[in-house]
Structure 1
Amino acid sequence: MYQPLADRLRPNSIDEVVGQRHILGEQGVLRRIIQGGNIPNLIFYGPSGTGKTTVAEIAAAQMHRPFHRLNATTASLADIKAITADVGTLLAPEGVVLYLDEIQYFNKKQQQSLLEFMETGKLTLIAATTENPYFYIYNAVLSRATVFAFQPVSPEEVLPVVLRGIREMSQDRQGRVRWEEGVAEHIARSCGGDVRKALNAVEALFAAHAMDRGETVLTLAEAQVVAQRSANRYDRDGDSHYDILSAFQKSVRGSDPDAAVHYLARLLEAGDLISPCRRLMVMASEDVGLAYPQAVAVVKACVDSANMLGLPEARIPLAQAAIFLATAPKSNSAILAVEGALADLRAGRTGEVPPHLRDAHYEGAAQLGHGTGYQYAHGYPNHYVKQQYLPDALKNQTYYTYGENKTEQAAKQYWDRIKGEG
């Protein structure tokens, strides 16, 4: 019977698990919890192929309880009821261990069905998710479990597993197997920290030589084909999407053009044109803003060009926009001003529009006092006259503070001079 290579090489002990030294190392908290045998409800969060299922099975083996495994993409309430029905019976007098993969696909009712048994300790839940549990798992479940984050495995840690996989597959061959220099290293680098993906690539490499007779030669060119594009972790609806966009904006805000281009490239390599275009337009106002007001027009032109060209040519104007924003002077004075105004409104700090600012372009407005006393700024020297514009309740409020950049300081000096004469 066929058994996937990743399953054949699945670790049977904590010491065999690849990576996750931060939680499974000699003094790792999760390691000590598992070794202690008294395992609480756990939630494993992290990318695919980083050992979540393997560690769950090792943990369950320490508890000596019936072990059940469900995948939330296909499981139902009936499946949960069938498992919990055994709790307290001769089949499971001490309770059960449930490994629930992809728990984020369970709705609120399905997740809540576990609570009664989790609380009494009759069911130990070990759940796994590739999505942020604080977004997808309900608070009642989270409050009864401990979350452990699994990280992508480094290429240095994946390499020995790849070599072991090659040796394992070689044993199935009649003839000699050899591989070109760099084959294993390329697969280890290209798997994006996903050990399962690396072993699948090894398996695919051997499958391409299924008809070989005599010596089998695994080439670097073939390895590059079976492992292509896999190092770029990206899911348009998942955490990686928002993490990359966040890093993109923070790199531009931090004036690092190299990092900005790197994260832009990751978005474009995944075929995502819309997200970087939108984010660049946001950054032009949020992060460069009044330090270089023309940034909006420049970035809009680059974004329009990118959308007209489409990928792959779109990468050129978008790279231009990203580098332009990263190297431009920065100011967040505009967003601070509008956020301050919104905060007052949401807190109920508002007021009536002053009568002299109200619309006076209709018959009877004068009888209501609307527009009375308004001073037309263009009729005064320098197009300025001092008068109240904010409502009475906010008349002394300041929302906008000039940034320390050249452009805003020039405007400040101008208005200090003009208003000093008013």
Structure 2
Amino acid sequence: MEEPDLFTAAAEERQEKHPASTPLAVRMRPRTLDEVVGQGHLLGPGAPLRRLVQGGSGPAGPSSVILWGPPGIGKTTLAHVVSQATDRRFVELSAITAGVKEVRAVIDGARRASGGYGKETVLFLDEIHRFSKAQQDSLLPAVENRWVTLIAATTENPYFSVISPLLSRSLLLTLQALTDDDLRGLLRRAVADERGLGGAVSLPEDAEAHLLRIAGGDARRALTALEAGAGSALAKGEGEITLATLEEAVDRAAVTYDRDGDQHYDVASALIKSIRGSDVDAALHYLARMIEAGEDPRFIARRLMISASEDIGMADPTALQTAVAGAQAVALIGFPEARIVLGQVVVALALAPKSNAAYLAIDAALSDVRAGLAGPVPPHLRDGHYKGADRLGHAQGYLYPHDLPGGIAAQQYAPDAVHGKRYYEPTRYGAEARYAEVAERVRARLRGESDG
């Protein structure tokens, strides 16, 4: 016989005897694909997950599936439904707590179950992006030999967080955020269903609308807030979850931002692009989301320093000074006061004139160097401070700019391979307009075309 999962059995028995002690989000977890909300592109007739459930993995089916999407949209739920619908052995691991030892133990158990009882194993690995390369490598033999049907879940882009060999052997399924209609149906079912609130309270439209707003597309968050509101209403002896009761129970809206997931990068990107686009209000919105989600203020400060050079540059050379001063202040004082400093820096950067000329200039120069356009340093620029340098012609004929009118010497500085190349093309925005004029005059002097 298969070794019993005593912990799972005990949890299921406890849930059956004391359902009210189990979180609403767990009680309302779908038992079949038809109860799953959203993800119609994966669950319709002939769709990948429908085939996995109805036809099994088999010789032609997928042996590994990676579910990618934001938190609370049903990745864990789908894995449970797959295992239940196909009557397979189901094992769940979290990459936060499991390591190579645990993975190998599951694989060994899967091989015994397959050889001894003819029963397939579904391994659900949550947050696979937290696994190191070596830990992900340990999964490859089981996936290649189909000892397990792997269903891995991640909130981060798998092209960055999952190793290529595992990704190439997997069916990548992108889950879409749940719509308000999806969540509305889920909430109404939870209110009426015996597994949920069993009609003990009603949910008026204004309270339902508030739940949809604070859920941010996250089913788990919506059900958790509903449960808090219902508990508060019942404690007051009320038959409905009024908006006031719900707001009191929930306290405040949860921010739609997971600082450890994919949205960490999406919101940071939106902040920088809003600054680049000079939309100060949008930039402050994204900054507020990052702060409210508990983002590391040093991470925010680093992104702002980069933006000051990449997007503003010489259009306002003081922008980088402002960003660096802000980063130093943030490191010294921390939250909550650091929010004031970050807010000032974001406003300054968003409203500053923009130029990416310096950023483009260094990248163009790097591109030429990498392409082999380097060449020897002109002899008159080479080091002449050693014995025998004059016999080699080093530093001979060098013109000392400080000895000349205007402090500019008309001589060649760049190697022959890139002599005459113009990497820095200043804009006419902000302070850079003045630097553009300076650059033209200096270039003319270097070519010997002007004395003034």
Answer whether TM exceeds 0.5 for this pair. Answer: yes
List gaps (5 residues or longer) in structure 1.
Answer: none
1:87 equivalent in structure 2: 114
Q: Are residues 1:13 and 2:36 paired? A: no
Using structure 1 for the length normalisation, give the TM-score: 0.83
1:144 equivalent in structure 2: 169
Distance 1:404 1:105, change over 3 A: same
Work out which of the residue numbers 75, 91, 99 in structure 2 matches 1:52: 75
* Rounded Cα–Cα distance in structure 2 between residues aligned with 1:84 and 1:102: 24
Which moved further from structure 2: 218-227 or 79-88? 218-227
* Rounded Cα–Cα distance in structure 2 between residues aligned with 1:131 and 1:314: 28
1:278 equivalent in structure 2: 302
1:190 equivalent in structure 2: 214
Task: Note the 1:104-253 alignment, pairs <5 A.
Answer: 104-168=129-193, 169-171=196-198, 177-178=201-202, 182-208=206-232, 214-216=237-239, 218-224=241-247, 225-226=249-250, 228-235=252-259, 237-253=260-276
1:98 equivalent in structure 2: 123
Distance 1:226 1:78, change over 3 A: same
Structure 1 contact 44–149 (Cα < 8 Å) conserved: yes
* Rounded Cα–Cα distance in structure 2 between residues aligned with 1:62 and 1:161: 21
Report Cα offsets for 1:330-386 as digits up to 9, x if no partner: 222212222233334445543443332234456765455442211122333433222
Please state how far the C-alpha of 1:82 moved relative to its aligned partner.
Answer: 0.8
Work out which of the residue numbers 286, 297, 306 in structure 1 matches 2:321: 297
Q: Are residues 1:414 and 2:441 paired? A: yes
Structure 2 contact 70–263 (Cα < 8 Å) conserved: no
Structure 2 contact 54–86 (Cα < 8 Å) conserved: no
* Rounded Cα–Cα distance in structure 2 between residues aligned with 1:313 and 1:162: 38
* Rounded Cα–Cα distance in structure 2 between residues aligned with 1:280 and 1:109: 34
Which moved further from structure 2: 22-31 or 201-210? 22-31
Task: Note the 1:255-334 alignment, pairs <5 A.
Answer: 255-272=278-295, 273-303=297-327, 310-334=334-358
Aligned length: 415
* Rounded Cα–Cα distance in structure 1 between residues aligned with 2:42 and 2:419: 56
Structure 2 contact 313–357 (Cα < 8 Å) conserved: yes
Please state how far the C-alpha of 1:120 moved relative to its aligned partner.
Answer: 4.2
Please state how far the C-alpha of 1:195 moved relative to its aligned partner.
Answer: 0.7
* Rounded Cα–Cα distance in structure 1 between residues aligned with 2:410 and 2:340: 48
Q: Secondary structure at the match of 2:114?
A: coil
Structure 1 contact 281–300 (Cα < 8 Å) conserved: yes
Please state how far the C-alpha of 1:291 moved relative to its aligned partner.
Answer: 2.4
Q: Secondary structure at the match of 1:247?
A: helix
* Rounded Cα–Cα distance in structure 1 between residues aligned with 2:94 and 2:316: 52
Which moved further from structure 2: 61-70 or 8-17? 61-70
2:398 equivalent in structure 1: 374
Instruction: Give the CA RMSD over aligned residues.
Output: 3.3
Q: Secondary structure at the match of 1:128?
A: strand
Structure 2 contact 110–148 (Cα < 8 Å) conserved: no
* Aligned-residue identity in percent: 43
Structure 1 contact 48–194 (Cα < 8 Å) conserved: yes
Distance 1:299 1:49, change over 3 A: closer
Distance 1:13 1:90, change over 3 A: closer
Which moved further from structure 2: 300-309 or 161-170? 300-309
Structure 2 contact 65–170 (Cα < 8 Å) conserved: yes
Please state how far the C-alpha of 1:394 moved relative to its aligned partner.
Answer: 3.8
* Rounded Cα–Cα distance in structure 2 between residues aligned with 1:76 and 1:34: 23
Using structure 2 for the length normalisation, give the TM-score: 0.78
* Rounded Cα–Cα distance in structure 2 between residues aligned with 1:301 and 1:104: 34
